[in-house]
Amino acid sequence: MPFITYTINKTFFENYKEIDIEKLSQFNVDVEDLNLDKKAILIENENYNIIEKLGKTINQIANDKIDSSLAQKKVLLENMLNNITKSLSHKLRNNDKNKISINFEKDKNNQFPREHKNKIIIGIFYPEDFDNKCDVFEKNFMDKLGIFIELKSKSNTDKIDKISIYHKELAKYLMPDNRSLHCQNLKEYKDSLDPKNDFYILENMKKIEYGVNLLYKWWKNLPDNIRPPNFTILSDFPPSLTKQQRREITDPELNFLQTNIENFLFFANDKNKNKAKVKIIKQIDIPSNQWWKHKRHWIFAKKMENVLNKEDISFVAIKSDFGVEIVNPNNTSKLSKEMELTTVTNKNTKHMRDITDYLFNDAKKGTI
């Protein structure tokens, strides 16, 4: 998740006469369905070429004495070859065998589990889909995104260059009052809070901190050659600033707020050469007065140099109903019970058009 990973077991090619025709036909339908929104990833061992093996099997049947059953099987295998070559494809190195979760391994007589296939196609995920555990979520969701990013990194035009996370209330939850607004260190501010009297402030800070920690560590641990160099969280001004302060804020003052949040969330970036950033957006820089409303999206965008048209803006979007709040604030090994993630396939919606406009405007300014 949000992609399904599948492979073809070696036994599938051992005796083509034993292949179940009905199950093979259904497999073709399943892969074709999953391919519609590029949600299927074929996993191949670097020492075992599935495409080549399948081609040889088709040739074997062609050279055999073909009856009606074998002729049908040959057509289905040709369809299979066509379908799997349209899937995203990832070559698995031998030493990476245990690092990637494979959801389905096709043999002669099985098929994709209906429930799992439908879950991927619908694209809505809850904590229960990951046993409510952060480590399961990282392996079955975030690591699948890592595979996708790696596949895209092989293309100069489609390489993922920027991860943007939109969370309107992030600055509000981390800087809820004057104490937080003027402190030199948000960690000290958090440590100074009274667990009883400041319970909700403390809980909101933890929700933000722990969720960002999971996402930031995932990004930071991606291999250097595929890691998108830009990781940015975008938020609104904290309401602890007055309207006048928002209007009159200077660039150094804005940088101070952003840097304070960055140091708290990103461990002062751990001396990582690719710096994660927080960007507090001024109203004048966003497409409309209602732009922030319900923006809780994770955006994975390709490089945007020399962008001339909005049609050139390309990204993958995941809508998170609670932004970065995906980890239980009372137990960092557990997911938040409220987490809900949706993979967005329809780019012609108000939210997606807003984000496209914002990315396009930033690209024109050369700030991306």
- Give 125-168 pLDDT, tens digit per residue: 999 999 999 999 999 999 999 999 999 888 777 889 999 999 99
Count the residues in the chain. 368
Task: Supply 262's token pair.
Answer: 């960055």
**Does residue 304 have a pLDDT over 90?**
no
Tens digits of per-residue pLDDT, 56-96? 999 988 887 777 778 898 999 999 999 999 999 988 876 56
Whose tokens are 């093996």? That residue is 53
Q: Which stretch of 67-76, 116-125, 254-263 has the lowest confidence by average pLDDT?
A: 67-76
Residue 346's nearest CA partner among 358, 355, 335 is: 355
The predicted pLDDT at position 153 comes to 87
More confident residue, 338 or 285: 338
Quote the CA–CA distance of 180 and 131 in Å, as a whole number.
36
The predicted pLDDT at position 118 comes to 93
Q: What is the mean pLDDT of residues 269-290?
A: 74
Half-sphere exposure of 275 (CA within 13 A, CB side): 9
Percent of the chain whose pLDDT exceeds 90: 63
Residue 85's nearest CA partner among 123, 24, 41, 45 is: 41
**Does residue 326 have a pLDDT over 60?**
yes
**Does residue 171 have a pLDDT over 80?**
yes
The predicted pLDDT at position 236 comes to 92
Quote the CA–CA distance of 135 and 141 in Å, as a whole number.
10
Beta strands in 11-117 (DSSP E): 40-45, 88-92, 104-106
Quote the CA–CA distance of 8 and 97 in Å, as a whole number.
15
Q: 21-35 and 68-86 helices cross at what angle (nearest 10)?
A: 20
Distances (CA, A) of 285 to 245, 254, 310, 329, 359: 17, 14, 17, 32, 11
**Does residue 288 have a pLDDT over 70?**
no
Q: What is the mean pLDDT of residues 315-325?
A: 93
Domain definitions of the chain by residue range: 4-121, 123-365
Residue 191's nearest CA partner among 206, 172, 177 is: 206
Tens digits of per-residue pLDDT, 23-54? 999 999 999 999 998 999 999 887 888 999 99
Q: Please return the burial class of 107, using the count of CB atoms within 10 Å of its CB with bins 0-12, 13-18 and 19+.
A: middle
The predicted pLDDT at position 233 comes to 96
CB contact at 8 A, 228 and 163? yes
Q: Which stretch of 271-275, 288-292, 294-298 has the lowest confidence by average pLDDT?
A: 271-275
Quote the CA–CA distance of 120 and 134 in Å, as a whole number.
19
Quote the CA–CA distance of 321 and 357 in Å, as a whole number.
21
Q: What is the mean pLDDT of residues 209-213?
A: 97
Residue 368's pLDDT band (boundaries 50, 70, 90)? very low
Model confidence, pTM? 0.89
Quote the CA–CA distance of 51 and 28 in Å, as a whole number.
15
Mean pLDDT for all residues in the chain? 89
Quote the CA–CA distance of 348 and 320 in Å, as a whole number.
18
Sign for the CA dihedral angle at 254, 260, 276, 3 comes to negative
Q: Which residues are within 8 A (CB) of 53 and not within 5 positions of it... i.e. 6 or more apart?
A: 8, 13
- Amino acid found at 175: M
